Amino acid sequence: MLPSWLDCVKHLLQSWTGFQLAVVMQCGGSMTNEKANWFAEVIADYVTKMADDLCEADLIDWISTIFNDDFDLILEHISNFLFLKDGSDQWFASSILKCNQWYRKKDFATLNSFMCSLPSVSTISAAVNQSNIKNSDDDCDNYNDDGNCDDDSGDGGCGNHSENVNELSNNGIRLERRHRRMEVDDEGWTTITYR
């Protein structure tokens, strides 16, 4: 059975370690999972409608806007959020445009071959779980099943935390160790800063 275009987009998003980390950390607030599902649908629709006129740079800008507006993340570059030397935002944008082209041309053999080459959900989950999340003031020793800190801050696990990311691999891309701090302001916006 042939996959739907939405299934292809969901599979690509499941292979994007940084996006999955944002979902696990509930960076979009209590509605993060719903926003992630919505994001898959809206990006599938957007790429389909704009395919003939869409370039990689424009798609990266559009994704960055979605992250800022709907996931309450203010990022200079998505690649900084993901701690990548060469930017998985570019990989994602390039991959989704290629997949859309193959899908529209009904080149399902190439599309399926590419999809099969992506890391499995369990590989991505392991990479996300390797992230070491620490409270900026003191270490949180009380993480719940969602990977969020069960302290009294009420920030959903995404605010006022620092993170050191271990070296991971996402589609052959090496992640560098960087230190980041996330702060949630009074209006609920999450700002990520680097040290």
pLDDT tier for residue 194 given thresholds of 50, 70 and 90: low
| Pairing state between β 179-184 and 161-164 | antiparallel
Between CA 130 and CA 146 the distance in angstroms is 14
Contact indicator for 87, 3 with CB cutoff of 8 Å: no
Given this model, what pLDDT does residue 47 score?
94
Is it the case that residue 172 has pLDDT exceeding 70? no
**Token pair 């949180």: residue:** 140
Residue count of the chain: 195
Over residues 158-178, the mean pLDDT reads 41
Cα separation, 59 vs 137, whole angstroms: 37
In this predicted structure, the answer to whether residue 16 has a pLDDT above a threshold of 50 is yes
Structure tokens at 156: 């959903």
Residue 42 has pLDDT above 90, yes or no: yes
**Helix H or strand E segment including 83:** none
What is the span of the domain harbouring residue 153? 5-194
Q: For residues 175 and 169, is the Cβ–Cβ distance under 8 A?
A: yes
Task: List the strands of the sheet with 179-184, edge to edge.
Answer: 73-74, 190-194, 179-184, 161-164, 132-135
Q: How would DSSP label each residue in 3-16?
A: PPHHHHHHHHHHT-
**Mean pLDDT in residue range 135-150:** 43
Q: What is the DSSP letter of 79?
A: H
Extract the runs of DSSP E, i.e. beta strands, from the chain: 73-74, 132-135, 161-164, 169-170, 173-174, 179-184, 190-194
Strand pairing report for 173-174 and 161-164: unpaired
Mean pLDDT of the 156-162 span: 41
More confident residue, 177 or 119: 119
Q: CA-CA distance, 135 to 131, in Å (whole number)?
A: 13
Check whether 65 has a pLDDT greater than 50.
yes
Residue 144 has pLDDT above 60, yes or no: no
How many domains are contained in the chain? 1
Predicted pLDDT of residue 89: 77
Q: Residues 30, 13, 105, 55: is their CA dihedral positive or negative?
A: positive
